[in-house]
Amino acid sequence: MTKWSVDELNVGMLVETTFWANPVQTSGFRFRATHLNGRRAPKVILCDDARIVPGRPCRVKITAIKKASREDRGSIEVEFDRMLEFQLDGVYLDPIVSKKLQVLLESGLNILLDGPQGCGKTVTARSIAETLGMEFVFFNCGAVVDPTDFLATIQVRASETGSPVTDFTKTEVLEALEAALENPRKRYLIFLDELNRSPESARNALMPALDSSRRLFHPIENRFLPIGDNVQFIAAVNRGSEFSATFGIDAAQLDRFAPLQMDYLPAAEEVKLLKARHPELSDAIIKRIVDLASKVRSAPEIPGGLSVRATEEVCVYLKHPLFAEQPHQDLAEILKSSFCGRFSGHWSDVTTDAGAVWSLIQRGARRELS
């Protein structure tokens, strides 16, 4: 994402932004923002209009650019125009889910995105950060074994004398928490991906970070680290019997989050998404791919789901020169790997999940020809 230059902005220009409470107590402006139209602004954006709702997008008009020639000083003062509906660029959200998400973000609550694999949880979290001008911090909870792994990992190396020395290496989470304390004007979104792939005993270490205590034990400095109000936590889980190497989340841990259920895109929205990403393919072939994926997802005899990554993969195959000449003829062979290959067994064995998926695909193809 490119940053605005002062020369690109002018007084009277209408732009979109999202304000938060101004942490500078002595300022004459109650609200501040850092991004305009999704791009980083060259100076802090200030407004004092009481109609502003922190965390909710709005349209404003630039009224003054102070100290335009200074890169280290100055501000952009704006006049409130109107509130906007919360929308994420390049991401589809069910209208009700979108409203719930807006409320949770404005309230600063911890959010738990719960949905099938490949339904867009990570993309949604990243888009939230970009839309709201927050620093996005991705953390893979599947690599966590011990409670300290959330904040630091232990590395053993040889010293100059040859004896082993233990070092702590900070994780992205610890680096973000420390940076947030040093930069109270900057907001951070910490995304805990696959939260339930870390053991329950390890997750217990996060509980004081997610409740009113707002602190975590710093394993390197042997003290508790406070968590600033400019840090928001969003976690993602895949829950269900079809997921291996996952751990249950108990009621106390769940109660630290506001759960938000997500699902796959409606077929029409998935077609629109794939068309935008793969304009080389015809509308007919993309619709055919999505229709077959929808049949697999809705089949009661098929455990689990089929991610948007699978339909995206099919498109990548079909637009390649090796398959681009006859995509409809080659589609079946590609689906054997991109669809059936995501399930247990082999596509040719009807007693397996992969075989059941292939049978669904064949029935769908026969109906198209009849």
150 and 49 inside one domain = no
pLDDT of residue 318 exceeding 80, the answer is yes
Q: Averaging pLDDT over each range in 83-92, 96-105, 273-282, which range is the top one?
A: 273-282
Q: Averaging pLDDT over each range in 166-170, 237-241, 243-247, 287-291, which range is the top one?
A: 287-291
221 and 317 inside one domain = no
Please tell me which residue, 164 or 219, carries the higher pLDDT value: 219
Asked whether residue 122 is assigned to any structural domain, the reply reads yes
Number of domains in the chain: 3
Boundaries of domain holding 212: 95-261
pLDDT at 303: 79
Task: Average the pLDDT over 206-218 and give the result.
Answer: 92
106 and 183 inside one domain = yes
Q: Domain ends where: 239, 261, 283?
A: 261
370 confidence band (pLDDT: 50, 70, 90): very low
Contacts 24+ apart (CB under 8 A), 364-370: 364/291, 364/292, 364/295, 365/332, 368/288
pLDDT at 341: 95
56 confidence band (pLDDT: 50, 70, 90): confident
pLDDT of residue 242 exceeding 60, the answer is no
Q: Domain ends where: 57, 83, 109?
A: 83
Task: Average the pLDDT over 17-30 and give the result.
Answer: 88
pLDDT at 244: 45
Backbone phi and psi for residue 280, each to the nearest 5 degrees, phi listed first: -70, -20
CATH number at residue 239: 3.40.50.300
204 and 280 inside one domain = no
245 confidence band (pLDDT: 50, 70, 90): very low
257 and 273 inside one domain = no
251 and 127 inside one domain = yes
CATH number at residue 46: 2.40.50.140
pLDDT at 107: 81
Task: Average the pLDDT over 175-202 and give the result.
Answer: 92
Lowest pLDDT segment from 35-49, 146-160, 293-307? 146-160
pLDDT above 70 as % of the chain: 94
Task: Average the pLDDT over 308-326 and give the result.
Answer: 93
pLDDT of residue 117 exceeding 70, the answer is yes
Backbone phi and psi for residue 301, each to the nearest 5 degrees, phi listed first: -85, -5
pLDDT at 296: 92
For residue 143, how many other CB atoms are within 10 A of its CB? Answer: 13
Q: Domain ends where: 83, 111, 143?
A: 83
Contacts 24+ apart (CB under 8 A), 306-310: 306/118, 306/339, 306/342, 307/116, 307/117, 307/118, 307/119, 307/342, 308/118, 308/119, 308/120, 308/264, 308/265, 308/270, 308/273, 309/118, 310/118, 310/338, 310/339, 310/342
200 and 303 inside one domain = no
342 and 271 inside one domain = yes
Angle at 274 between CA 271 and CA 276, to 5 degrees: 110
Task: Average the pLDDT over 215-220 and give the result.
Answer: 92
pLDDT at 348: 93
225 confidence band (pLDDT: 50, 70, 90): very high
Asked whether residue 88 is assigned to any structural domain, the reply reads no
pLDDT at 171: 93
Task: Average the pLDDT over 39-57 and give the result.
Answer: 91
228 and 357 inside one domain = no
94 confidence band (pLDDT: 50, 70, 90): confident
User: pTM (2 decimals)?
Assistant: 0.77
Asked whether residue 1 is assigned to any structural domain, the reply reads no
pLDDT at 48: 95
Q: What is the pLDDT of residues 129-147, one digit of tens each?
A: 888 888 999 999 988 988 8
Residue 92: both structure tokens together? 């589809």
The number of angstroms, rounded, from the C-alpha of 88 to the middle of its chain's C-alpha atoms is 11
The DSSP H or E segment spanning 237 is strand 231-237
19 and 115 inside one domain = no
Average pLDDT of the chain, as a whole number: 88
